[in-house]
A and B are shown apart, each in its own frame.
Chain A
Amino acid sequence: MTAKSQDLLAGVTAPKVRTLLRVVILFFIAGAAVSSRLFSVIRFESIIHEFDPWFNFRATKYLVANGFYKFWDWFDDRTWHPLGRVTGGTLYPGLMVTSGAIYHALRALTIPVDIRNICVLLAPAFSGLTAYATYLLTNEMTTSPSAGLLAAIFMGIAPGYISRSVAGSYDNEAIAIFLLVFTFFLWIKALKLGSMLWGALCALFYGYMVASWGGYAFITCLLPMHALVLICMGRYSTRLYVSYTTWYALGTLASMQIPFVGFLPVKTSEHMPALGIFGFLQLIGFIQYVRSAISGRQFQTFLVTLLVATFGLGLAGLVGLTSLGYIAPWGGRFYSLWDTGYAKIHIPIIASVSEHQPTAWPSFFFDLNFLIWLFPAGVYLCFQNLRDEHVFIVVYAMFGSYFAGVMVRLMLTLTPVVCVAAAIAVSQILDTYLSVKVPIVDETAASSTDSAPKKAKGGLRATEKPNVGIFNNLSKVVVTGAMTIYLLMFVTHCTWVTSNAYSSPSVVLASRLPDGSQHIIDDYREAYQWLRQNTKEDAKIMSWWDYGYQIGGMADRPTLVDNNTWNNTHIATVGKAMSSREEVSYPIMRQHEVDYVLVVFGGLLGYSGDDINKFLWMVRIAEGIWPDEVKERDFFTARGEYKVDHDATETMKNSLMYKMSYYNYNTLFPSGQAVDRVRGVRMPDQGPVLDTVEEAFTSENWIIRIYKVKDLDNVGRDHGAAAAFARGQKKKKIQKKRGARVLRVD
């Protein structure tokens, strides 16, 4: 407790009561954070959501069943058939290990809880911790007692964070955001105190973060950036040296223990800033030492020589090592952060993911509501003090905003800083307008805070505190009232967004019947259950990669490709099989031992997320590998339209995906009345004919269609001829051919 806060409430309550109050409030905040995330369980059921969580859930079950070492060396032969996946070495184990640890801890306490419930409720539980971590971080920034609590509640219910952490959303982000914020808090703490202990703690949580989420690179780049900005501002200090070097050395060692990361921290460009700043700090430290040891003029010469030599050598070394291949150049995902069009041209597989698209402006307001316009105010207030930790908020705000603008999913990393900055702004307003002080007290308080960090007074001149205050009750009431309304609206908005936009498991779809009651469309699970019960244990399912994790998790069948898109060629192979003629697809499916093909078709229901709408991505990804065999242009009509009706191109009509989607679809309707409700077009009367696959299952609303791949024809015919014969069509080749006979040679 600083002097100011005690002044504020002196005589009203005793410090002990305030602490108790604070604890109670924090518990309430955690409760609010958890309960608002339970909409999905109440609305639907306790189920794992979406796609990636299904893999995490499956991995967790494996971990719990087989123990840690088996998990560490896990070779998964039920995905990426027939390549398999070295799963233990290609995942971030933090999430699974956390759930596993909780599971075993509860077991030890003789509380038998199903692992699924732990997985479903992990994200809400950690959101409570995130709120607390935000509280700690904000308290480092400001002396105002209310800012931390405000930041905690903002963080607790901001939709930007809820979007990835509702109950059932069992993804890496569920724990990673807590770790992100907590690591930042520890970093600020270490920097403020110049403490090796806090630096080591920071490195420890950084290691946990690396084990949990690929987004750790954000920390890896942000901390050195903060250090660099501080150095450039002339704020090098032994505190910075100690905290940074401790964090970097221990944190890098910790991160290298994760098999998936391995030697990346010393080999890839993304990690080079941290290494560079580490070296730079050694240099600065050395220069500081030399300056104290030798005279001024000598020092000038020494400094210039040293700087030129170091930068020259460093740059040459970096370029040399990169060109020799020791340091990997920037990866494609990284480039797409700078040029949003890059992925679209070069890496269709990245661009095909909707969450990698640039953010639309309204979504900032949607996800953050009034915080987004308080955010600049909060950043501005940081300039007022501009101590080392405020510089951190400024740097974080800049980078976070940029990345959130480039990629939708990075809204997640922006949310904490928005909450912190907005809380600073709100608390500043409330502190100012709710103050019962007289001007004289305010003056002394201001001068006392200013005098303490003399060095830190390098802020903008315009932000120096003028000696003014609000003493009019009317203006106090108006502003406070307005703020209260804003806060209430924020809560309403958050609750509304959470319950309506972010609580759908996307495994089951909800629709409204005309009478307003909810109707659940459960085709996905119906189909996966069918697979589980009606196919052989090792029947290989080919589908587009979006459904790979779900098939693996719910149907427990091997898949060819899944959402872990590590092998672009394998995905392109599936894309090629889907977008080619049957005669081309069939050998591919045989070679990959495919037993069933699963497609998602929304035409009957008007479900727009179906495979025909994703089809162009399959074509593009396949074209990236086989530009001569698959051509995107062939799927567009002469006028450049993407059509599925009468006007569809021959390539389109003959592609396996088209045929499987629309097979027998016209039989549902009276002749000539078949309509695709997604594309809004009338379909041809004559449906496609399938030779190499046969329909095995179609779900209630036709969303999932499963086809069985036929075996080779028993008597050696091709499938077209065999199917024609089975349909009763006579062979036409009987009449004698003129010209050279085909002779048999053996």
Chain B
Amino acid sequence: MRSLVSFVLLLFTALVSALSSSGTRLLVVLDAVEEKDAYSTFFTDLVERGYEITYETPKSEGLSLFEHGERNYDHLIFLPSKIKGLGPNLTPNILLDFINAEGNILLTMSSTHSVPSSLVALLSELDVTLPSERTGSVVDHFHYDTISAAESHDVLVLSCPPNVRPGLKDYFQLPGTALTFPRAVGHVLGSGPLLTPILRAPPTAYSYNPKEQADVVDPEDLFAAGKQLALVSVIQALNSARFTILGSAEMLEDKWLEVQVARPQERPQYTSNREFWTSLTAWTFKELGVLRVNSIEHHIVGDDEINPGLYRVKNDVAYKISISEYAWRRWVPFTVPQGDSLQLEFSMLSPFERRDLVAESETHRETIFTTNFTLPDQHGIFNFKINYKRPFLTSLEEKNTVSVRHMAHDEWPRSYVISGAWPWLSGIGVTVVGFVAFSALWMYSQPVKKTSAGAKKTQ
């Protein structure tokens, strides 16, 4: 009954609000519920976008991410906490289970709070390293805010950089604007393909521990500097669960919306923090960059049967896939980013064919990609495989298994069609005619006494 209700509810939310493609239940974990007032614009924005926000402290008794093996929340926001561990309800294993159950997490940090050990352990599983002692502050003596941090240089003012590499969607690009990163904690990413930095510190920035390295930073003990130091990074697990690390929780606070910031020798300007966090939360909570395969069709060219399980070697095959992308409340046709291509593999152990799919047609909510090719001259169990895993986009892994059989005994061309067989065919004809003629001649010729019977037998 309960599941039915929740299903109807889910259907209802999906139809009416249709905000996030993966649910609206949002849990915010913070030390005290009153702290949320500092972020009122941020949370108001989220509520306006349709999220049902629950605020809990890590110590709260009723806090539980799972109930009966099902997620209680779809999304999770961590605000900086003073608590060293996060208690038994938010152990790294539970958080990892939350990710494995396709829950999304936005983790914010601040150099004024040390990061809870539970989150450090989780991040180390994701191959993200934080400064030792769980604290660290990023400073930059060239890109600081001259108004608020003229002395400490720990409020960075950065322009939003382009994507780390071409061929990605431009969800986070805000050209010509400034972002502030007050009292940020930098982190270092491993080289895994699931990790993507969105905002890296400028080359002149470095991270230090204000308590222990207040006077001088020994290069040996330097945590990280320059572009190796990431301020905002995203991680997308293989099941498309999203995890965002925001180095500065303070940038979400209301106060940075009203004040102006200025880099050295530059004019003061308002920040675009709000635009940035909007796209960041939208991406993290799957309002952006969610791909959906509507249908896949493959068939023999000139044959009506759709998605047959059995092909023959050297068949001409047409493959068609329809993909939509979820962007801000609705499904729109998916367009492959510039410099990237969507590919189809026809593989058995290794790919026999790998082809770019071409966007053939586009309706208001789907793009249809197609390709045609001839099957290899190899029988076996093949997969039509789409393995499209890109940063910022949910993974597409579509595998349609088909068997490719050999030529049946009656599918070869008949011998009389092959011109090379004509000499042999005529040879057979001559032999048959000759044998019949000889037999006739033999039988109707004059019997020579009685030897004919014995002689005939030996032939």
> Could you tell me if A715 and B380 are in contact, using CB atoms closer than 8 angstroms?
no
- The answer to whether A86 and B406 touch across the interface, beta carbons within 8 angstroms, is yes
A448 within 8 A of B: no
Query: Are A73 and B409 interface neighbours, CB within 8 A?
Result: yes
Contact of B99 among A712, A714, A734 (CB under 8 A): A714
Contact A744 B190 (CB under 8 A): yes
Residues on A with beta carbons closer than 8 Å to the beta carbon of B189: 744
* A82–B132 touching, CB < 8 Å: no
Given A82-B348, A716-B127: A744 in contact with B403 (beta carbons within 8 A): no
Contact of A742 among B191, B237, B380, B409 (CB under 8 A): B191
Any A CB within 8 A of the CB of B44: no
Contact B238 A716 (CB under 8 A): yes
* Inter-chain contact A86/B191, CB cutoff 8 Å: no
If A714-B238, A715-B125 touch, whether A82 touches B381 (CB-CB below 8 Å) is yes
Q: Is B164 a contact of A726 with CB atoms below 8 Å?
A: no
Judged by a CB distance under 8 angstroms, whether A214 is at the interface is no
Structural contact, B125 and A714, CB atoms closer than 8 A: no
- Tell me, in angstroms, the Cα distance from A77 to B126 when the chains sit together: 39
Which residues of A in the span 693-746 have a Cβ within 8 Å of any Cβ on B?
712-717, 721, 725-726, 728, 730-731, 734, 736, 738, 741-746
- CB-CB nearest in chain B for A74: B405
Tell me if A433 counts as interface (CB < 8 A to partner B).
no
Give A77 to B310 CA distance when docked, in angstroms: 10
* In contact, B124 and A81 (Cβ under 8 angstroms): no
Q: Which residue of B lies closest to A241 (CB)?
A: B458
- Give the chain B neighbours of A259 by CB distance below 8 A: 409
Taking CB atoms, residues of chain B closer than 8 Å to A83 are: 348, 380-381
In the docked arrangement, what's the CA distance between A741 and B100, Å? Answer: 30
B239 within 8 Å of A by Cβ?
yes
Residue contact A731 to B381, C-beta cutoff 8 Å: no
Q: Which residues of B contact A715 (CB under 8 A)?
A: 96, 99, 125-126, 194, 235, 237-238
For chain A residues 217-239, which have a beta carbon within 8 Å of chain B?
Answer: 238
For residue A728, which residue of chain B has the nearest CB? B93
Given the complex, which residues of B lie within 8 Å of A196, measured CB to CB? Answer: 457
Contact A84 B380 (CB under 8 A): yes
Q: Is the CB of A716 within 8 A of B194?
A: yes
B228 cross-chain contacts in A, Cβ below 8 A: 741, 743-744
Q: How far is the CA of A576 from the CA of B271 in the complex (A)?
A: 60
Contact B457 A238 (CB under 8 A): yes
In the assembled complex, which residues on chain A have CB atoms less than 8 Å from the CB atom of B190? 742, 744
Complex CA gap A730/B121 in Å reads 8
Given contacts A715-B126, A715-B237, contact A75 B379 (CB under 8 A): yes
A713 to chain B, nearest CB (A): 8
A624 adjacent to chain B (CB < 8 Å): no
A652 within 8 A of B: no
In the bound complex, residues from chain B placing their C-beta under 8 Å from that of A717 are 125, 127
Residue A215 lies at the interface, judged by CB distance under 8 Å to chain B: no
Give Cα A73 to B93, complex, Å: 53
User: Judging by beta carbons under 8 Å apart, are B403 and A731 in contact?
Assistant: no
Give the residues in chain A near B96, CB-CB below 8 Å. 715, 725
Q: What is the distance, in angstroms, from B134's C-beta to the closest C-beta of chain A?
A: 11
Specify which chain A residues have a CB less than 8 angstroms from the CB of B191 in the assembled complex. 742, 744-745
Within 105-130 of B, Cβ neighbours of A (below 8 Å) are at: 121, 124-127
A715-B96, A716-B194 given as contacts; is B379 within 8 A of A734 (CB)? no
Whether B349 is near chain A, meaning CB under 8 Å from some CB there, is yes
Known: A84-B380, A238-B457. A716 touches B349 (CB 8 A): no
Whether A75 pairs with B164 at a CB distance below 8 angstroms is no
Q: Give the Cβ gap from A90 to chain B, nearest Cβ, in Å.
A: 11
A75 to B310, CA, bound (A): 10
Which residues of the other chain, B, contact A714 by a CB distance below 8 angstroms?
99-100, 237-239, 241
B238 touches A89 (CB 8 A): no
Residues of B within 8 A of A591 (CB): 349
Mark interface residues in B402-413 (1 if CB within 8 Å of A CB, else 0).
011110111000
Which positions 234-291 of chain A face chain B at CB distance < 8 Å?
A: 238, 241-242, 259, 285
Asked whether A538 is an interface residue with its Cβ less than 8 Å from the other chain, the reply is yes
1/0 per residue, CB under 8 A from A, across B71-105: the answer is 00000000000000000000011001001100000
Contact B238 A712 (CB under 8 A): yes
**Which of B220, B241, B401, B403 sits near A75, CB closer than 8 Å?**
B403
- Note all chain A residues with C-beta closer than 8 A to B220: 738
A681–B197 alpha-carbon span in the complex (Å): 55
Tell me if B192 is interfacial: C-beta within 8 Å of chain A. yes
A264 to B342, CA, bound (A): 47
Interfacial chain B residues near A241, Cβ < 8 Å = 458
A734 cross-chain contacts in B, Cβ below 8 A: 124, 132
The number of A-B residue pairs with CB atoms under 8 Å apart is 100
Residues from 383 to 411 in B contacting A, C-beta threshold 8 Å: 401, 403-406, 408-410
B382 at the interface (CB under 8 A from A): yes
Chain B residues with CB below 8 A from A738, complex form: 220
Minimum C-beta distance from B302 to chain A (A): 21
A592 contacts B by Cβ under 8 Å:
yes
Is A642 an interface residue when CB atoms closer than 8 A count as contact?
Answer: no
CB proximity to B under 8 Å, residues A532-553: 538
CB-defined contacts of A663 to chain B, threshold 8 Å? none
Binary B-proximity of A62-90 (CB < 8 A = 1, otherwise 0): 00000001001101010001111010010
Q: Kindly list chain B residues whose C-beta atoms are within 8 Å of the C-beta of A725.
A: 92-93, 96, 125
Cβ proximity bits B358-388 to A, threshold 8 Å, 1 near / 0 not: 0000000000000000000001111000000
Chain A positions 168-205 with a Cβ under 8 Å from a chain B Cβ:
194, 196
B193 on the A face (CB < 8 A): yes
Q: Determine the distance from Cα of A445 to Cα of B420 in the docked complex, in whole angstroms.
A: 65
Minimum C-beta distance from A597 to chain B (A): 18
User: Quick one: which of A77, A238, A716, A745 contacts B458, CB cutoff 8 A?
Assistant: A238
Q: Is A736 within 8 A of B132, CB to CB?
A: yes
Q: How far is the CB of A69 from chain B (nearest CB, A)?
A: 8
A241 to B406, CA, bound (A): 42
B2 at the interface (CB under 8 A from A): no
Q: Contacting A72 at CB < 8 Å: which of B235, B379, B404, B409?
A: B409
* Given A72-B409, A241-B458, A714-B239: A746 touches B403 (CB 8 Å cut-off): no
Report chain A residues within 8 Å CB of B127.
716-717
Name the A residues within 8 Å of B193 (CB-CB): 716
User: Cβ of A75 and Cβ of B405 under 8 Å apart?
Assistant: yes
B410 to chain A: which residues have CB within 8 Å?
69
Pick from B124, B381, B457: contact of A77, CB under 8 Å: B381
**Contact partners of B349 in chain A: CB under 8 A:** 82, 591-592
Chain A contacts for B100, CB-based, 8 A: 714
The distance from the CB of A689 to the nearest CB of chain B, in whole angstroms, is 18
CA–CA, A745 and B188, complex, Å: 12
B68 in the interface (beta carbon within 8 A): no
B125 contact set on A, CB distance < 8 A: 715, 717, 721, 725, 731
Residues of A within 8 A of B401 (CB): 538
Does B239 contact A746, Cβ atoms closer than 8 Å? no
Complex alpha-carbon distance, A285 and B408, angstroms: 43
Instruction: Name the interface residues of A69-123: CB closer than 8 Å to any CB of B.
Output: 69, 72-73, 75, 77, 81-84, 86, 89
**A734 CA to B96 CA, complexed, in Å:** 19
In the bound complex, what is the Cα–Cα distance between A529 and B165 (angstroms)? 52
Q: Separation in Å of the A72 CB from the closest CB of chain B?
A: 6
Give Cα distance in the complex from A14 to B45, angstroms: 115
Q: How far is the CB of A411 from chain B (nearest CB, A)?
A: 36
Q: A238-B458, A716-B127, A726-B93 are in contact. Are A81 and B381 (CB under 8 A)?
A: yes
Between-chain CB contacts (< 8 Å), 14 pairs: A69-B410, A73-B409, A75-B406, A82-B348, A82-B382, A84-B379, A84-B381, A86-B405, A242-B457, A713-B238, A715-B235, A716-B127, A744-B188, A746-B197
5 additional A-B residue pairs with CB within 8 Å, beyond A83-B348, A84-B380: A72-B408, A73-B409, A714-B237, A715-B194, A742-B190
A contacts, CB < 8 Å to B: 69, 72-73, 75, 77, 81-84, 86, 89, 194, 196, 238, 241-242, 259, 285, 538, 591-592, 712-717, 721, 725-726, 728, 730-731, 734, 736, 738, 741-746
Closest 3 CB pairs of A and B: A75-B405, A73-B408, A77-B403
